[in-house]
Amino acid sequence: MSTLYITEQRSTLRKTDERLVVTLEKDVLIDVPIIKIDQIVIVGNVTVTAPTVAELMERKINICFLSQYGNYLGRYEAPDSRNGLLRIAQHKIYQDPKARVEVAKRIINGKINNQITFLARQHRASPHKKLSEAIQSIKKTKKGLNRVETLDEIRGYEGNAAAIYFQVFPEILKNDFGFAKRIRRPPTDPVNALLGLGYTLLTHNIQSALAIVGLDPYIGFLHGDRYGRASLALDLVEEFRTIIVDSVVISMINNNMITEKDFDIDLGVCSLKDSVKKRVLPKI
């Protein structure tokens, strides 16, 4: 999927013939053929003209809006797939308590397996007692997960594995940037800011994929029901957090691709500087 990221504040996105053009006053910042773009991510104060939105929806190119701090705001989405039979099958699983628990259990099993594999890889590269202990603890959690029968139990085991996993993050990072634990909103340090931004983009990508195949993103199996929440997208994000986001964030920090100078802290909220987002977003 080819994603166009627009981070320049007060810029404007418009369609010109068969191209997408981003301008700031009289300067052209981006000029790319529409045919090369699958989706667009807009960060902060960017204007999109109405004819451009219409053209993008016609071509089934979704637009995701993030705040200047990287928080998800909303999206323009092309019409859903007309595969009603697929959605009926999805709803049947949702309404069957045992089937729903089984799907949720498989999702978290996948997530925990990826956490174990990731930590084992880090341990082989740089052996550390805390990593070895964390791997064994998470493996024990996985064994317990296979015996549970309710969604609340699954969430409990998932939370326990995640807590162990993030406790050893400082051992993996060459520079922990003040990271002590996973903090979602608001992020208070660079590591949490990068993780949160990465998870937001991953959720947007998965929601787009669900729309393409025709599944209902609002009917999930693990995450609870809430009006407006894309529960299925959030479900599927769980399995891919480690291999898609965490590994990239660790690599960027350990290879000095990003430093503390690339972040701003305003009223305790840590976020990437505008000048850095254009460089970092495509890598996440």
**The domain spanning residue 110 has which CATH number?**
1.20.120.920
- Are 132 and 65 in a shared domain? no
Amino acid at 186: P
One domain for residues 151 and 261: yes
On whether both 123 and 228 belong to a single domain, the answer is yes
* Residues tagged in the binding site annotation: 158, 223, 238
Q: Which of 38, 60, 76 is the last residue of a domain?
A: 76
Are 150 and 224 in contact, with CB atoms under 8 Å apart? no
Residue 175 pLDDT: 80
Token pair recorded at residue 161: 């594995």
Indicate if 58 and 108 belong to the same structural domain. Answer: no
Residues 6+ apart with CB under 8 A from 171: 128, 130, 131
What residue numbers bound the domain in which 70 lies?
3-76
Same domain, 36 and 99: no
Q: How many domains, the chain?
A: 2
Walk along the chain (284 residues) and give the pLDDT tens digit of each residue: 588 999 889 999 999 999 999 999 889 999 999 999 988 989 889 999 999 999 999 998 989 898 887 778 888 877 666 678 889 999 999 999 999 999 999 999 999 999 999 999 999 988 889 999 999 999 999 998 988 999 999 999 999 999 999 999 989 988 878 888 898 878 989 999 999 989 998 998 898 888 878 888 999 999 978 877 889 999 999 999 999 999 999 999 998 888 888 998 888 888 888 778 777 777 76
How many whole angstroms separate alpha carbon 98 and alpha carbon 275? 49
- Give yes or no: residues 36 and 131 share one domain: no
Cα 126 to the center of its chain, rounded Å: 27
H helices present in the chain, as ranges: 50-58, 84-95, 97-125, 129-145, 151-167, 169-172, 190-213, 231-240, 247-254, 274-280
Q: What is the pLDDT of residue 267?
A: 83
State whether 211 and 251 are in the same domain.
Answer: yes
- Does 72 share its domain with 90? no
CATH code for position 50:
3.100.10.20
Same domain, 115 and 192: yes
> pLDDT at position 229, please?
86
Distances (CA, A) of 201 to 27, 30, 74, 94, 127: 28, 21, 12, 26, 32
Annotated binding residues for Mn(2+)? 158, 223, 238
